[in-house]
Amino acid sequence: MRQAIESHIPDLRRYARALLGDHVDAEELVQECLVRALARRHFWPSIRDPRAYLFTILHNAYVDGLAKRKRGATFVDFDSVVTRLSRPAPQPAALELRDLARALAILPHEQRETVLLVGLEGLSYRQAADVLGVPIGTVMSRLSRGREFLRKSMEGEIRLSLPDPQKTAGWR
């Protein structure tokens, strides 16, 4: 069990960071996932896919954090804190990454989760469906819509603006 968990921690961190956009919040989310996994160690003998099981726990902790944040969080408007924006990097690759991050940030969270699980983490459609607790057809639909939006965004067909800070605020 320990080896199974430890081998997936980098993947969990990467997914959490992609979901939250903040290293500290992502680390807290992964820690919550690990605490939940260890608290349920009596289930481990019956777990067939430890990676999918851990991603399911992480996803559920993320959703729980969103619900808590909606109930009592205070958000600060980005423009009221930062008086001037920094210049974008001159390298085309850095600009493409920035545009991709913005496009991901404004995707509906259901599509973003699906795109990240399948595209970034390499989960199969079935594994992603199990993690998200939805039918495989829903995963396919969300993935298709999410990829189409990202493609159009990267090709300039959709104009991107800075994401709403309430949608991208860290997990707590």
Residue 170 pLDDT more than 90?
no
Please answer whether residues 110 and 48 qualify as being in contact, where contact means their C-beta atoms are separated by less than 8 angstroms. Answer: no
Collapse the DSSP code of 159 into the 3-class scheme (helix H, G, I; strand E, B; otherwise coil) and give the result. Answer: coil
Neighbours of 106 (CB within 10 A): 17
Global pTM value: 0.56
Q: Residue 36 phi/psi, 5° resolution?
A: -65, -40
pLDDT one-digit tens code per residue, 18-69: 988 889 999 999 999 999 999 988 888 888 899 999 999 999 999 888 766 6
Determine the pLDDT at residue 5: 87
Pick the most confident of 38-52, 90-104, 152-166.
Answer: 38-52
Q: What percent of the chain has pLDDT over 90?
A: 46
Q: Is the confidence at residue 150, as pLDDT, over 50?
A: yes
Q: How far apart are CA 163 and CA 150, in angstroms?
A: 14
User: Between 162 and 96, whose confidence is greater?
Assistant: 96
pLDDT at 78: 61
Domain boundaries 2-168, corresponding CATH code:
1.20.140.160
User: Would you state the structure tokens that stand for residue 61, as one six-digit string?
Assistant: 């902790």
